[in-house]
Amino acid sequence: MIDINMVETLETITAIARQAGAMAREAFNNPRETLTKSSGVDLVTDTDKRVEAFIVESLTGHFPDYSLVGEEGGEYNAGNSYRWFIDPIDGTTNFAHGIPHFAINIALADAQLYPPLLGVMYDPMRDECFSAIRGEGTTLNGKLLKVSSTPTLAQSVVASGFPYTKWTDPDNNADRWGHFVVRSRGVRRMGAAGLDMAYVAAGRFDGYWEHYLNAWDIMPSIICLLEAGGRLSNYAGEPLDPHQIIKLRVVASNGYIHDEMLTVLREGYNAPRPGL
C-alpha cells in the first residue's frame, strides 16, 4: 500500500489545483502568448508552462520522492513507482481562444497506472472541483456523484473530440462522429477531454469516446468515472493497457450504454440505428 494518508494527500492536491486554477483564471482575462507544438492545432500557452511549473514545484515540495509526468515538461524524478500526472490546462485550445471551458488535472498512480489512486480536476471558471480516491467515491465540491441511469444510446447525450493529427490522419474520428450523431440524442464536442469524462461521472453526459489521448489528459477523470459507477474500456471493450501512457483509445460510459457504444465503434455505418 502507498505510505501516505490518502485523504490528506487529496486535500493537499486540491489546494494546489485551486491555486493553479486561480493563476489560469487570472491569465485568462489578459493577453496570452500562444505557440504551436506538433501541429497547427496542437497549442501551448505561456500560462500552461507557468501553471505546470507551479504544480511541479508544489508537489515536489510535499512529495519529494515521487516522480511526475507533465504534459509540457516531460517526466521529473523518473524511477519511482508512484507518479503524479499533470495537465496544467486541459483544454488549451479553448483557453487560448478565450473560451471559458478548461481545467487543471492532477492524479497519482502506482505502477499499474489504471485506475489511478486519486485525482483532482478543477474547473476555475465554474469553481467546480471533481475529486476521487480509489474505493472512496467521487465528489463535486464535496457532493457525492453518480453516473446517469440512461438505458439506451438513443436516449443519450455523448461526447468526443478530434486528435491533433486530424488534418493529415484519415483516422481522425470524423466518421465515428457521424455514426454516433444518427444513433444518439446528441453528440457534444467541448474541447477538454478530462472534463468530458468528468461530466460522464457527474451524469451530465452518458458516454464519451476518443482516441490518441495521453494519460495526463484523463488520469483524474478515470478514477472519478469509475468511483461514480461508470465503465471504462478501450475500443475493443478491454481494460486499458496498465503500462500505456500515450495514444490511448478510451470509451467511458454510465455502463448501460457501453455495449451499444462499442457496437457503433466496431460496426460503424452498419451498426443498428433507432427507428430503422
Least confident of 48-62, 67-81, 123-137: 67-81
Which sequence spans correspond to the domains of the chain?
6-144, 153-270
CA distance 164 to 274: 32
Which pLDDT score, from 0 to 100, does residue 163 have?
Answer: 78
Q: Using pLDDT thresholds of 50, 70 and 90, give the confidence band for residue 264.
A: very high
Least confident of 35-44, 141-150, 250-259: 35-44
Which pLDDT score, from 0 to 100, does residue 41 have?
Answer: 44
Q: Which grid cell sits at 82?
A: 508512484
Taking each continuous run of H as one helix and of E as one strand, the counts in the chain are 7, 15
CATH code that applies to domain 153-270: 3.40.190.80
The highest-level CATH class for domain 6-144 is alpha beta
Whole-prediction pTM value?
Answer: 0.92
Which pLDDT score, from 0 to 100, does residue 112 have?
Answer: 87
DSSP states of 106-137 as a string? Answer: EEEE-TT-SS-SEEEEEETTTTEEEEEETTS-
Q: What integer is the mean pLDDT of 69-83?
A: 73
Which pLDDT score, from 0 to 100, does residue 171 have?
Answer: 83
Q: Using pLDDT thresholds of 50, 70 and 90, give the confidence band for residue 154.
A: very high
- In this structure, what are the phi and psi dihedrals at residue 192, rounded to the nearest 5 degrees? -145, 100
Reply yes or no on whether the pLDDT at 195 is more than 60: yes
- Burial code (b: 16+ CB inside 10 Å, e: under 16) for 196-205 equals bbbbbbbbbb
Q: Using pLDDT thresholds of 50, 70 and 90, give the confidence band for residue 234.
A: very high
Contacts of 4 (CB under 8 A, 6+ apart): 63
- Give the chain's end-to-end CA distance (angstroms, integer): 52
Which pLDDT score, from 0 to 100, does residue 1 have?
Answer: 44
Angle at 108 between CA 105 and CA 111, to 5 degrees: 135
Q: Which grid cell sits at 172?
A: 481522425
Select from 173, 178, 171 the least CA-distant residue to 162: 173
Which pLDDT score, from 0 to 100, does residue 111 have?
Answer: 86
Question: Do 6-144 and 153-270 come out as alike in CATH topology?
Answer: no
Whose grid coordinates read 507551479?
A: 54
C-alpha 51: how far from its chain's center?
17
Q: What integer is the mean pLDDT of 102-127?
A: 96
The overall average pLDDT reported for the chain is 91
